[in-house]
């Protein structure tokens, strides 16, 4: 099963995971191995990547990593960026040989974007971003053209595992809004095609009745619902990007049940879902059953088990 055909036209791909041990780095390694012959690769990590499985960097790939990473001496150093990390600023270098390593990359989205852009400007035609734990913000359209969701089995029970995967896929693929607010830094309500800013702590009464859509700046968390509890529940809530919905699977299900609709201003699509049937603690589930059930649940979305090549 090849991944690259599923990333057609994509110059930057992020690999995000459902949690620890979900197989993000393994997925990155499959992409790197597959692409090394015919793509000029750039690699970075959003935070400290490869702590469970080492990243396997092919010779001649460009890597963006913190200055004090031990592996920096195996690189022909090309550039130093102003992205700061606890391990020093991020530098970019070319791997002089095949390297297996942990890498510490930028810690904030704006730095990640700058580094992705720099890797592309240095001639890479595919930038692969490995993300830490369950950090979903690297799925932002600011840093990638599409992303891969790696799903693991580190959940308390089997049913909640499937629910969690399904809700994460649903959240990350909410539809794109057709009309955007003038800025993304305040709350807006759309009334008769006009976006009207408002203070969430003092919502004008007429907006409760007349609003057709609302825009929610920043993160939308479970508690955010209480602030707009008096509104019509069928009112679509627009966030800037899907990853800004920080909702547990149960909160997501409850909102859906109550009729809430969410949209995003921008998004990058999910290219595929990869599965890791082994937990970080050594526990495993039947890979075939995991694949079949997840594929059925996620409908047309491509789901693959890389190790079993299914």
Could you write out the DSSP letters of every residue in 234-263? T-EEEESSGGGEE--HHHHHHHHHTT-EEE
Q: Does 292 bind another protein (CB under 8 A)?
A: no
Residue in this structure with the two tokens 């759309």, named with its chain if needed: 190
**Using CB under 8 A, which of 17, 21, 30, 64 touches another protein?**
30
Cβ proximity to another protein: between 81 and 173 the closer is 81
In the chain, alpha helices (H): 24-35, 109-121, 158-172, 205-210, 224-227, 249-257, 287-298
Which region holds residue 299: left if phi is over 0, alpha if psi is between -120 and 50, else beta?
Answer: left
Six-digit token string for 30? 């499959």
Q: Output the smallest distance, CB 105 to another protein, in A.
A: 15
Distance CA 174, CA 267 (A): 9
Q: Does 234 bind another protein (CB under 8 A)?
A: no
Torsion, Cα 255 261 266 269, to 10 degrees, reads 70
**Using CB under 8 A, which of 4, 180, 251, 278 touches another protein?**
278
Question: Which residues, in sequence order, are bridge partners of residue 99?
Answer: 57
Cβ proximity to another protein: between 99 and 144 the closer is 99
Let me know how long the chain is: 310
Q: Output the smallest distance, CB 77 to another protein, in A.
A: 4
**Using CB under 8 A, which of 80, 210, 232, 259 touches another protein?**
80
Q: Does 33 bind another protein (CB under 8 A)?
A: yes
Residue 215: C-alpha distances to residues 19, 76, 212 (Å) = 28, 46, 10
Which stretch in 26-34, 226-234, 247-255, 292-300 sits in contact with another protein by CB under 8 A?
26-34
From residue 97 to residue 116, what is the string marking binding to another protein with x (rule CB under 8 A)?
xx------------------
**Using CB under 8 A, which of 285, 293, 297, 301 touches another protein?**
285
Interface ranges with another protein (CB under 8 A)? 29-30, 33, 56, 67-68, 72-73, 75-80, 88, 91, 93-94, 96-98, 277-278, 282-288, 306-309
């Amino acid at each position: 099963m090849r991944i690259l055909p599923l990333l057609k036209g994509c110059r930057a791909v992020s690999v995000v995971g459902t949690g620890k041990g979900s197989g993000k780095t393994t997925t990155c390694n499959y992409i790197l191995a597959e692409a090394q012959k015919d793509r000029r690769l750039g690699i970075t990590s959003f935070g400290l990547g490869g702590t469970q499985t080492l990243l396997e960097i092919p010779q001649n790939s460009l890597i963006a990593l913190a200055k004090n990473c031990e592996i920096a001496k195996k690189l022909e150093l090309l550039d130093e960026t102003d992205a700061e990390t606890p391990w020093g600023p991020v530098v970019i270098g070319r791997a002089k040989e095949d390297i297996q390593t942990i890498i510490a990359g930028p810690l904030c989205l704006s730095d990640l974007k700058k580094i992705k852009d720099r890797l592309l400007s240095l001639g890479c035609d595919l930038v692969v971003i490995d993300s830490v734990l369950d950090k979903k913000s690297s799925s932002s359209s600011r840093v990638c053209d599409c992303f891969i969701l790696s799903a693991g089995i580190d959940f308390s029970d089997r049913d909640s595992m499937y629910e969690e995967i399904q809700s994460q896929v649903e959240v990350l693929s909410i539809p794109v809004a057709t009309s955007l607010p003038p800025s993304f830094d305040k709350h807006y309500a759309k009334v008769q095609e006009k976006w009207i800013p408002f203070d969430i702590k003092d919502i004008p009464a007429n907006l409760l009745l007349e609003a057709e859509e609302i825009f929610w700046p920043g993160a939308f968390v479970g508690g955010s619902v209480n602030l707009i509890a008096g509104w019509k529940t069928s009112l679509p809530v627009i966030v800037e990007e899907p990853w800004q919905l920080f909702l547990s699977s149960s909160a997501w299900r409850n909102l859906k049940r109550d009729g809430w609709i969410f949209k995003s201003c921008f998004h990058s699509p999910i290219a595929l879902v990869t599965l890791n049937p082994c937990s970080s603690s050594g526990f495993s589930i039947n890979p075939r059953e995991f694949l079949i059930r997840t594929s059925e649940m996620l409908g047309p979305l491509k789901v693959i088990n890389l190790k079993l090549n299914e």
